[in-house]
Amino acid sequence: MREGELAQIIDDYKWARKYEAYKPLALLLDSRLPGIPLNTVIVPIPTISHHKRIRGYDHIDILANSLAKQRNLKKQNVLKRKNNSVQHKATKAERIKQADVAFECKQELEPTVTYLLIDDIVTTGSTIKAATRVLKGAGANEVWVAAIARQPLN
């Protein structure tokens, strides 16, 4: 759950430009993941360009890079944002509608590879579901998901 110290570290990393906070978050993510196939490709959920400009970095891409290095896996940015919809403070219905049209895959994917989607917070699951659907539509047979925290929508 996204609460307490974990919530503070995530918020500092995302909104207070505390870049170094990626390190404990990546270590936490790595420690909680089970063994994954050696041919796994890590795929970060792409951050909208507005948030990258605000932060000065793509927070999920950095986490994905760190995890890929820790696990000695490839990371590929195969997903592309088709829009810049902001899900922060959106209702569940708005999130689902936005996520359904948010992504496209830049290339055809290899069906024998496992793709591991990385995100920071799962709220409704609409982003992960939409990204998974796009990856499978591009040829992926197996898509796994990893996130740092879950934040139920109030």
Q: Are 116 and 43 in contact (CB under 8 A)?
A: yes
Q: Cα(48)–Cα(63) distance, rounded to whole angstroms?
A: 16
Sheet containing strand 74-75, edge to edge, reads: 74-75, 41-44, 114-122, 142-150
Q: What is the pLDDT of residues 84-113, one digit of tens each?
A: 665 566 676 776 666 667 899 999 999 999
What single-letter amino acid sits at 47? Answer: T
pLDDT band at residue 1, thresholds of 50, 70 and 90?
A: confident
Predicted local confidence at residue 134, as pLDDT: 96
Q: How many helices (H) and strands (E) does the chain have?
A: 6, 6
Q: What is the pLDDT of residues 103-149, one digit of tens each?
A: 999 999 999 999 999 999 998 898 999 999 999 999 999 999 999 99
Domains, the chain, in order of start with CATH, read 4-150 (3.40.50.2020)
